[in-house]
Homo-oligomer: A and B are copies of this chain.
Amino acid sequence: MLLGSLRAEVLKANLALVRRGVVVFTFGNVSGISRAEGLVAIKPSGVPYEELTVEQIVVTDLDGRVVESNLRPSSDLPTHLALYKAFPNIGGVAHSHSEYATAWAQARRAIPCLGTTHADYFHGAIPVTPDMTPEEIGGEYEKATGEVIVRTFHDLDPDAVPAVLVANHGPFSWGADAADAANNAVILEYVARMATHTLAIDAEAVPASHALLDKHFFRKHGPAAYYGQRGRK
């Protein structure tokens, strides 16, 4: 079996989304990439999570051609591929329709960085894409979804803000590998829940100071990080 360990990791990351409560039914999908081999492993389309096996994880090349599987890949594959091509450091992509992050996407509002939980993982607001045009929607829709995400990041660092809200659709997140991408999907949902409650408590709540956000992000990320154990992510 091609890419056995990557597929196992992708399976595990998909199941983590279910266990962490960010997907219901067959919503959502996680992929991982082997940059050395130019191959991507992704969840098959519409297969219930409880039935999912390592063998069913679909392997494709970077043009989306299935290399090994008799199942169709997730229909969102072209979005994942666009992200892998544009964001060279990422090793995994996750997509969910998680309840609160999706609500922000439906409201077409970026999630402001209201506190340190957010800043521990995302260095600034989670952006929302502009609306897609009827042409983009009517053409290669899933590929265009990836492209509108990439355009949204034209002046943002995808390694510092590893998530986005696709307007009227839902969140995509990414990370060093499939597990990290799924983790970011879970954190994003948690951050979205808390931002929703914060607005309910005070509709005029404002983002935390830049000093505080920098402190928390760089406490966990980059050369000066001191959170966690050495040699452990």
One of A40-48, A153-161, A173-181 at the interface:
A40-48
Q: Bound state CA distance, A225 and B200, in angstroms?
A: 36
Determine how close the nearest CB of chain B comes to the CB of A119; give it in whole angstroms.
Answer: 9
Contacts of A196 in B (CB 8 A): 197, 200-201
Interface contact B75-A227, CB-CB below 8 Å: yes
Given contacts A211-B138, A215-B137, contact A106 B198 (CB under 8 A): yes
Interface residues of A in 110-136 (CB under 8 A from B): 114-117, 131-132, 134
Q: What copy number does this chain have within its complex?
A: 4
Please give the distance in Å from A231's CB to the nearest CB on chain B: 11
Shortest CB-to-CB span from A208 to chain B, Å, is 4
Interface residue stretch chosen among A1-9, A82-90, A94-102: A94-102
CB-CB under 8 A from A215, the residues of chain B are: 137-138, 141
List which A68-109 residues lie within 8 A (CB) of chain B.
71-72, 75, 97, 99-100, 102-109
- Cβ contact within 8 Å between A194 and B117: no
Contact B115 A45 (CB under 8 A): no
Cα distance, A106 to B194, chains bound together (Å): 8
Asked whether B72 lies within 8 Å of A229 as measured between CB atoms, the reply is yes
Bound state CA distance, A44 and B229, in angstroms?
8
Residues of B within 8 A of A47 (CB): 229
Q: Closest CB-CB distance, A19 to chain B, in whole Å? A: 12
- Evaluate contact between B100 and A197: CB separation under 8 angstroms: yes
Given the complex of chains A and B, what is the CA–CA distance between A114 and B26 in angstroms?
20
Across the interface, which residues of B come within 8 angstroms of A44, CB to CB? Answer: 229
Assess whether A114 is in contact with B168, with CB atoms less than 8 Å apart. yes
A115 x B102 contact (CB < 8 A): yes
Whether A109 and B25, one on each chain, are in contact in the complex, defined by CB atoms closer than 8 angstroms, is: no
Closest to A138 in B: B211
Query: A193: CB under 8 A from chain B?
Result: yes
The answer on a CB contact under 8 Å between A115 and B197 is no
Inter-chain CA distance A6–B102, complex, in Å, is: 36
Query: A26–B228 Cα gap in the complex (Å)?
Result: 9
